Amino acid sequence: MMLPTTYVMAMALTILTMICWGSWANTMKLAPKWRFELYYFDYTFGLILAAAVAAFTFGSSDTVVVDSATPSFTFLDNLSIASKRQMALAMAGGAVFNLANMLLVAAIAVAGLAVAFPIGIGLALIMGVILNYIIKPAGDPGFLFGGSFLVLLAIILSAMAHSAHIAAKAKAKQPAGQAGVRVVGKPQSRQASPLKGIFLSLGCGILMGTFYPLVEMSKRGDIGLGPYTAAFIFAAGVLVTTPLYNLFFMNLPVEGDPVSFRDYFSGKTREHLLGLAGGIIWMTGTVANFVAASAPERVNVGPAVSYGLGQGATMVSALWGLLVWKEYAGAGGKVRVYIILMLALFLGGLSLISIAPLR
Protein backbone atom coordinates (compact mmCIF):
# COMPACT_ATOMS: atom_id res chain seq x y z
CA MET A 1 0.00 0.00 0.00
CA MET A 2 1.16 3.52 -0.71
CA LEU A 3 2.24 5.69 2.23
CA PRO A 4 3.94 9.11 2.39
CA THR A 5 7.74 9.01 2.50
CA THR A 6 8.40 12.56 3.71
CA TYR A 7 7.04 14.83 6.42
CA VAL A 8 5.97 17.34 3.75
CA MET A 9 3.91 14.66 1.99
CA ALA A 10 2.25 13.69 5.26
CA MET A 11 1.39 17.32 6.01
CA ALA A 12 0.08 17.80 2.46
CA LEU A 13 -2.34 14.92 3.05
CA THR A 14 -3.63 16.55 6.25
CA ILE A 15 -4.20 19.78 4.31
CA LEU A 16 -6.14 17.80 1.69
CA THR A 17 -8.19 16.39 4.56
CA MET A 18 -8.93 19.87 5.85
CA ILE A 19 -10.15 21.04 2.43
CA CYS A 20 -12.31 17.97 1.80
CA TRP A 21 -13.83 17.81 5.28
CA GLY A 22 -14.61 21.53 5.14
CA SER A 23 -16.11 21.53 1.65
CA TRP A 24 -18.29 18.42 1.27
CA ALA A 25 -21.33 20.04 2.93
CA ASN A 26 -21.57 22.54 0.06
CA THR A 27 -23.11 19.72 -1.96
CA MET A 28 -26.00 19.69 0.51
CA LYS A 29 -26.36 23.46 0.35
CA LEU A 30 -26.55 23.23 -3.46
CA ALA A 31 -29.77 21.19 -3.13
CA PRO A 32 -31.79 23.41 -0.76
CA LYS A 33 -35.13 21.70 -1.50
CA TRP A 34 -33.75 18.18 -0.98
CA ARG A 35 -34.24 16.99 2.59
CA PHE A 36 -31.01 16.12 4.37
CA GLU A 37 -32.43 12.75 5.43
CA LEU A 38 -32.78 11.76 1.76
CA TYR A 39 -29.50 13.40 0.76
CA TYR A 40 -27.75 11.23 3.32
CA PHE A 41 -28.47 7.97 1.51
CA ASP A 42 -26.53 9.12 -1.56
CA TYR A 43 -23.83 10.58 0.68
CA THR A 44 -23.37 7.11 2.21
CA PHE A 45 -23.11 5.49 -1.22
CA GLY A 46 -20.41 8.02 -2.13
CA LEU A 47 -18.47 7.12 1.02
CA ILE A 48 -18.32 3.39 0.34
CA LEU A 49 -17.57 3.95 -3.36
CA ALA A 50 -14.60 6.23 -2.64
CA ALA A 51 -13.26 3.90 0.07
CA ALA A 52 -13.47 0.90 -2.30
CA VAL A 53 -11.70 2.74 -5.12
CA ALA A 54 -8.89 3.84 -2.78
CA ALA A 55 -8.53 0.31 -1.35
CA PHE A 56 -8.27 -1.39 -4.75
CA THR A 57 -5.89 1.21 -6.22
CA PHE A 58 -3.51 2.93 -3.79
CA GLY A 59 -4.21 0.33 -1.10
CA SER A 60 -3.45 -2.57 -3.45
CA SER A 61 -0.11 -1.28 -4.70
CA ASP A 62 2.76 -3.61 -3.80
CA THR A 63 5.31 -0.83 -4.20
CA VAL A 64 7.85 -0.62 -1.36
CA VAL A 65 7.33 2.85 0.01
CA VAL A 66 10.09 3.36 2.60
CA ASP A 67 13.12 1.23 1.89
CA SER A 68 13.98 -2.23 0.64
CA ALA A 69 13.65 -3.74 4.11
CA THR A 70 10.10 -2.50 4.65
CA PRO A 71 7.32 -4.90 3.64
CA SER A 72 4.19 -3.54 1.99
CA PHE A 73 0.90 -5.39 2.42
CA THR A 74 -1.90 -4.90 -0.06
CA PHE A 75 -5.48 -4.23 0.94
CA LEU A 76 -6.59 -7.83 0.40
CA ASP A 77 -3.54 -9.18 2.26
CA ASN A 78 -4.31 -6.97 5.21
CA LEU A 79 -7.99 -7.88 5.12
CA SER A 80 -7.16 -11.62 5.24
CA ILE A 81 -4.83 -11.47 8.27
CA ALA A 82 -6.32 -8.67 10.39
CA SER A 83 -8.01 -9.70 13.62
CA LYS A 84 -11.78 -9.60 13.96
CA ARG A 85 -11.42 -7.31 16.96
CA GLN A 86 -9.56 -4.69 14.92
CA MET A 87 -12.21 -4.88 12.21
CA ALA A 88 -14.95 -4.45 14.81
CA LEU A 89 -13.21 -1.33 16.15
CA ALA A 90 -13.06 0.23 12.67
CA MET A 91 -16.71 -0.61 12.02
CA ALA A 92 -17.67 0.81 15.42
CA GLY A 93 -15.80 3.96 14.48
CA GLY A 94 -17.94 4.20 11.34
CA ALA A 95 -21.13 3.68 13.35
CA VAL A 96 -20.23 6.38 15.89
CA PHE A 97 -19.15 8.80 13.17
CA ASN A 98 -22.36 8.18 11.25
CA LEU A 99 -24.63 9.25 14.10
CA ALA A 100 -22.40 12.27 14.78
CA ASN A 101 -22.47 13.26 11.12
CA MET A 102 -26.24 12.96 10.92
CA LEU A 103 -26.50 15.35 13.85
CA LEU A 104 -24.09 17.63 11.98
CA VAL A 105 -26.15 17.71 8.78
CA ALA A 106 -29.26 18.27 10.90
CA ALA A 107 -27.52 21.23 12.54
CA ILE A 108 -26.50 22.56 9.10
CA ALA A 109 -30.12 22.33 7.94
CA VAL A 110 -31.32 24.21 11.04
CA ALA A 111 -28.52 26.72 11.68
CA GLY A 112 -26.14 26.74 8.70
CA LEU A 113 -22.49 25.90 8.04
CA ALA A 114 -21.05 28.85 9.95
CA VAL A 115 -22.67 27.58 13.16
CA ALA A 116 -22.69 23.78 12.90
CA PHE A 117 -19.02 23.36 12.00
CA PRO A 118 -17.39 25.73 14.53
CA ILE A 119 -19.40 24.31 17.43
CA GLY A 120 -19.73 20.63 16.45
CA ILE A 121 -16.39 20.03 14.78
CA GLY A 122 -14.59 22.40 17.15
CA LEU A 123 -15.70 20.32 20.13
CA ALA A 124 -14.80 17.15 18.24
CA LEU A 125 -11.32 18.58 17.59
CA ILE A 126 -10.68 19.12 21.30
CA MET A 127 -11.89 15.65 22.29
CA GLY A 128 -10.10 13.98 19.39
CA VAL A 129 -6.75 15.66 20.07
CA ILE A 130 -6.84 14.66 23.74
CA LEU A 131 -7.96 11.06 23.17
CA ASN A 132 -5.58 10.48 20.26
CA TYR A 133 -2.67 11.89 22.26
CA ILE A 134 -3.46 9.44 25.07
CA ILE A 135 -3.50 6.52 22.60
CA LYS A 136 -0.33 7.57 20.77
CA PRO A 137 1.56 10.59 22.17
CA ALA A 138 3.17 12.70 19.44
CA GLY A 139 3.95 16.40 19.47
CA ASP A 140 4.46 18.93 22.24
CA PRO A 141 1.53 18.62 24.70
CA GLY A 142 1.73 22.32 25.60
CA PHE A 143 1.16 23.33 22.00
CA LEU A 144 -1.50 20.66 21.44
CA PHE A 145 -3.57 21.47 24.49
CA GLY A 146 -2.94 25.22 24.27
CA GLY A 147 -4.28 25.13 20.72
CA SER A 148 -7.26 23.10 21.89
CA PHE A 149 -8.04 25.72 24.54
CA LEU A 150 -8.09 28.47 21.90
CA VAL A 151 -10.49 26.33 19.85
CA LEU A 152 -12.73 25.99 22.92
CA LEU A 153 -12.90 29.78 23.20
CA ALA A 154 -13.75 29.95 19.49
CA ILE A 155 -16.64 27.50 20.02
CA ILE A 156 -18.08 29.69 22.77
CA LEU A 157 -17.86 32.78 20.55
CA SER A 158 -19.54 30.91 17.68
CA ALA A 159 -22.49 30.00 19.90
CA MET A 160 -22.72 33.60 21.14
CA ALA A 161 -22.66 34.95 17.57
CA HIS A 162 -25.41 32.57 16.47
CA SER A 163 -27.65 33.37 19.44
CA ALA A 164 -27.17 37.13 19.02
CA HIS A 165 -27.87 36.97 15.28
CA ILE A 166 -31.07 34.95 15.72
CA ALA A 167 -32.28 37.31 18.45
CA ALA A 168 -31.56 40.37 16.28
CA LYS A 169 -33.45 38.90 13.31
CA ALA A 170 -36.44 38.04 15.52
CA LYS A 171 -36.51 41.55 16.94
CA ALA A 172 -36.30 43.10 13.46
CA LYS A 173 -39.39 41.14 12.33
CA GLN A 174 -41.56 42.52 15.13
CA PRO A 175 -43.80 45.50 14.29
CA ALA A 176 -42.64 48.80 15.73
CA GLY A 177 -43.79 49.24 19.33
CA GLN A 178 -44.84 45.59 19.67
CA ALA A 179 -41.63 44.18 21.18
CA GLY A 180 -42.51 42.18 24.25
CA VAL A 181 -46.26 42.81 23.84
CA ARG A 182 -48.60 39.84 23.46
CA VAL A 183 -51.88 40.46 21.63
CA VAL A 184 -54.64 38.48 23.34
CA GLY A 185 -56.67 36.26 21.03
CA LYS A 186 -54.23 36.47 18.15
CA PRO A 187 -52.02 33.46 17.28
CA GLN A 188 -48.38 34.21 17.96
CA SER A 189 -45.74 33.37 15.35
CA ARG A 190 -43.24 30.84 16.60
CA GLN A 191 -39.67 32.05 16.39
CA ALA A 192 -36.87 29.61 15.67
CA SER A 193 -34.84 28.89 18.77
CA PRO A 194 -31.07 29.28 18.43
CA LEU A 195 -30.66 26.48 20.95
CA LYS A 196 -31.78 23.73 18.55
CA GLY A 197 -28.83 24.24 16.20
CA ILE A 198 -26.42 24.63 19.12
CA PHE A 199 -27.58 21.46 20.89
CA LEU A 200 -27.46 19.43 17.67
CA SER A 201 -23.93 20.70 17.07
CA LEU A 202 -22.83 19.85 20.62
CA GLY A 203 -24.23 16.32 20.32
CA CYS A 204 -22.35 15.96 17.05
CA GLY A 205 -19.11 17.17 18.63
CA ILE A 206 -19.22 14.75 21.55
CA LEU A 207 -19.70 11.75 19.26
CA MET A 208 -17.42 13.01 16.49
CA GLY A 209 -14.52 13.32 18.91
CA THR A 210 -14.68 9.60 19.76
CA PHE A 211 -14.76 7.95 16.33
CA TYR A 212 -11.14 8.65 15.38
CA PRO A 213 -9.61 7.00 18.49
CA LEU A 214 -11.61 3.86 17.66
CA VAL A 215 -10.14 3.83 14.16
CA GLU A 216 -6.65 4.48 15.52
CA MET A 217 -6.98 1.52 17.92
CA SER A 218 -8.04 -0.68 14.98
CA LYS A 219 -4.64 -0.01 13.36
CA ARG A 220 -2.55 -1.02 16.37
CA GLY A 221 -0.70 -4.30 16.76
CA ASP A 222 0.94 -6.76 14.39
CA ILE A 223 -2.42 -7.77 12.93
CA GLY A 224 -3.97 -4.32 12.92
CA LEU A 225 -5.57 -2.65 9.94
CA GLY A 226 -3.72 -0.58 7.40
CA PRO A 227 -5.14 2.87 6.59
CA TYR A 228 -6.92 1.79 3.39
CA THR A 229 -8.42 -1.29 5.04
CA ALA A 230 -9.51 0.78 8.04
CA ALA A 231 -11.17 3.31 5.73
CA PHE A 232 -13.06 0.60 3.83
CA ILE A 233 -14.37 -1.14 6.97
CA PHE A 234 -15.16 2.25 8.50
CA ALA A 235 -17.26 3.07 5.42
CA ALA A 236 -18.99 -0.30 5.74
CA GLY A 237 -19.95 0.67 9.29
CA VAL A 238 -21.52 3.85 7.92
CA LEU A 239 -23.37 1.93 5.21
CA VAL A 240 -24.85 -0.59 7.66
CA THR A 241 -26.05 1.99 10.19
CA THR A 242 -27.43 4.66 7.85
CA PRO A 243 -30.88 3.00 7.36
CA LEU A 244 -31.18 2.47 11.13
CA TYR A 245 -30.27 6.00 12.17
CA ASN A 246 -32.11 7.63 9.29
CA LEU A 247 -35.33 5.85 10.21
CA PHE A 248 -35.37 7.97 13.37
CA PHE A 249 -34.61 11.27 11.62
CA MET A 250 -37.15 10.59 8.87
CA ASN A 251 -39.98 9.89 11.31
CA LEU A 252 -39.01 12.46 13.95
CA PRO A 253 -37.43 15.21 11.84
CA VAL A 254 -35.61 18.14 13.43
CA GLU A 255 -37.30 20.38 10.87
CA GLY A 256 -40.32 19.95 8.60
CA ASP A 257 -42.72 17.02 8.15
CA PRO A 258 -41.78 13.32 8.29
CA VAL A 259 -40.55 11.74 5.06
CA SER A 260 -40.65 8.15 3.82
CA PHE A 261 -38.23 5.94 1.92
CA ARG A 262 -40.46 6.36 -1.17
CA ASP A 263 -39.62 10.05 -1.22
CA TYR A 264 -36.00 9.16 -2.01
CA PHE A 265 -37.00 7.98 -5.48
CA SER A 266 -38.72 11.28 -6.25
CA GLY A 267 -35.39 13.11 -6.18
CA LYS A 268 -33.88 14.60 -9.32
CA THR A 269 -30.69 13.19 -10.85
CA ARG A 270 -28.82 16.34 -9.86
CA GLU A 271 -29.84 15.93 -6.21
CA HIS A 272 -28.69 12.31 -6.12
CA LEU A 273 -25.38 13.19 -7.79
CA LEU A 274 -24.76 15.98 -5.28
CA GLY A 275 -25.20 13.53 -2.40
CA LEU A 276 -22.86 11.06 -4.08
CA ALA A 277 -20.28 13.82 -4.62
CA GLY A 278 -20.53 14.85 -0.97
CA GLY A 279 -19.67 11.35 0.20
CA ILE A 280 -16.79 11.01 -2.26
CA ILE A 281 -15.30 14.34 -1.19
CA TRP A 282 -15.53 13.49 2.51
CA MET A 283 -14.05 10.00 2.12
CA THR A 284 -11.20 11.34 -0.03
CA GLY A 285 -10.21 13.53 2.89
CA THR A 286 -10.65 10.65 5.33
CA VAL A 287 -8.41 8.26 3.39
CA ALA A 288 -5.79 11.03 3.16
CA ASN A 289 -6.03 11.53 6.92
CA PHE A 290 -5.75 7.83 7.80
CA VAL A 291 -2.76 7.47 5.47
CA ALA A 292 -1.00 10.53 6.93
CA ALA A 293 -1.47 9.19 10.46
CA SER A 294 -0.01 5.81 9.36
CA ALA A 295 3.14 7.18 7.72
CA PRO A 296 6.51 5.64 8.71
CA GLU A 297 7.75 6.76 12.11
CA ARG A 298 10.46 9.08 10.82
CA VAL A 299 7.93 11.18 8.84
CA ASN A 300 4.83 10.56 10.96
CA VAL A 301 2.86 13.58 12.16
CA GLY A 302 0.97 11.46 14.71
CA PRO A 303 -2.79 10.82 14.94
CA ALA A 304 -3.46 13.72 17.32
CA VAL A 305 -1.90 16.22 14.93
CA SER A 306 -3.33 14.56 11.81
CA TYR A 307 -6.83 14.65 13.27
CA GLY A 308 -6.41 18.13 14.73
CA LEU A 309 -5.23 19.65 11.46
CA GLY A 310 -7.91 17.79 9.54
CA GLN A 311 -10.46 19.51 11.72
CA GLY A 312 -9.17 22.79 10.39
CA ALA A 313 -12.10 22.00 8.13
CA THR A 314 -13.99 24.13 10.63
CA MET A 315 -12.27 27.22 9.27
CA VAL A 316 -12.88 26.17 5.67
CA SER A 317 -16.58 25.47 6.22
CA ALA A 318 -17.12 28.63 8.28
CA LEU A 319 -15.62 30.69 5.45
CA TRP A 320 -17.89 28.92 2.95
CA GLY A 321 -20.88 29.80 5.12
CA LEU A 322 -19.81 33.40 5.67
CA LEU A 323 -18.48 34.37 2.25
CA VAL A 324 -20.43 32.20 -0.21
CA TRP A 325 -23.72 31.34 1.46
CA LYS A 326 -24.01 34.68 3.34
CA GLU A 327 -25.35 33.01 6.48
CA TYR A 328 -24.63 36.10 8.59
CA ALA A 329 -25.84 38.66 6.05
CA GLY A 330 -27.04 41.82 7.78
CA ALA A 331 -25.38 40.89 11.09
CA GLY A 332 -24.89 43.73 13.57
CA GLY A 333 -21.59 45.07 14.84
CA LYS A 334 -21.50 42.88 17.95
CA VAL A 335 -22.10 39.71 15.91
CA ARG A 336 -19.36 40.67 13.43
CA VAL A 337 -16.90 41.17 16.30
CA TYR A 338 -17.78 37.70 17.64
CA ILE A 339 -17.21 36.16 14.19
CA ILE A 340 -13.83 37.88 13.69
CA LEU A 341 -12.64 36.79 17.13
CA MET A 342 -13.91 33.24 16.51
CA LEU A 343 -11.95 32.94 13.26
CA ALA A 344 -8.82 34.43 14.86
CA LEU A 345 -8.96 31.99 17.79
CA PHE A 346 -9.54 29.03 15.48
CA LEU A 347 -6.60 30.07 13.34
CA GLY A 348 -4.40 30.51 16.40
CA GLY A 349 -5.43 27.17 17.86
CA LEU A 350 -4.83 25.29 14.61
CA SER A 351 -1.44 26.98 14.22
CA LEU A 352 -0.33 25.76 17.65
CA ILE A 353 -1.54 22.23 16.86
CA SER A 354 0.22 22.23 13.47
CA ILE A 355 3.66 23.09 14.89
CA ALA A 356 3.37 20.70 17.85
CA PRO A 357 5.18 17.85 15.98
CA LEU A 358 8.18 20.12 15.33
CA ARG A 359 8.75 20.85 19.02
Structure confidence at residue 261 (pLDDT): 92
Residue 187 belongs to some domain of the structure: no
Has residue 298 got a pLDDT over 50? yes
Higher pLDDT, residue 116 or 66: 116
Residue 282 lies inside a defined structural domain of this protein: yes
High-pLDDT (> 90) share of the chain, %: 39
138-142, 331-335, 336-340: the lowest-pLDDT one = 138-142
pTM summary value:
0.79
Q: Which has the minimum average pLDDT: 190-199, 240-249, 275-284? A: 190-199
What local confidence, expressed as pLDDT, does residue 313 receive?
Answer: 74
pLDDT for 217 equals 92
What average pLDDT does the segment 235-250 reach?
Answer: 96
In a domain? residue 175: no
The whole-number average pLDDT for the span 48-77 is 76
- Residue 148: is its pLDDT beyond 90? no
Instruction: Decide if 185 is inside a domain.
Output: no
Domain count, the chain: 1
pLDDT tens track for 113-133: 777 777 887 788 788 888 878
The domain of 203 spans 7-63+74-169+193-358
| pLDDT, average across residues 7-36 | 90
| pLDDT top residue among 98 and 115 | 98
- The pLDDT, as a whole number, for residue 188 is 39
Residue 55 in domain: yes
183, pLDDT greater than 60: no
Residue 110 has what pLDDT? Answer: 83
- Please determine, for residue 152, whether its predicted confidence score (pLDDT) is greater than 70: yes
Write down the pLDDT at residue 69.
Answer: 37
Q: Is residue 183 part of a domain?
A: no
Q: Which residues of 292-306 are buried (b: 16+ CB within 10 A; e: fewer)?
A: bbbbeeebbbbbbbb
User: For residue 61, what pLDDT is reported?
Assistant: 81
Please tell me the predicted confidence (pLDDT) of residue 51: 98
Residue 68 lies in a domain: no
Does any domain span residue 182? no
Average pLDDT of the chain to the nearest whole number: 84
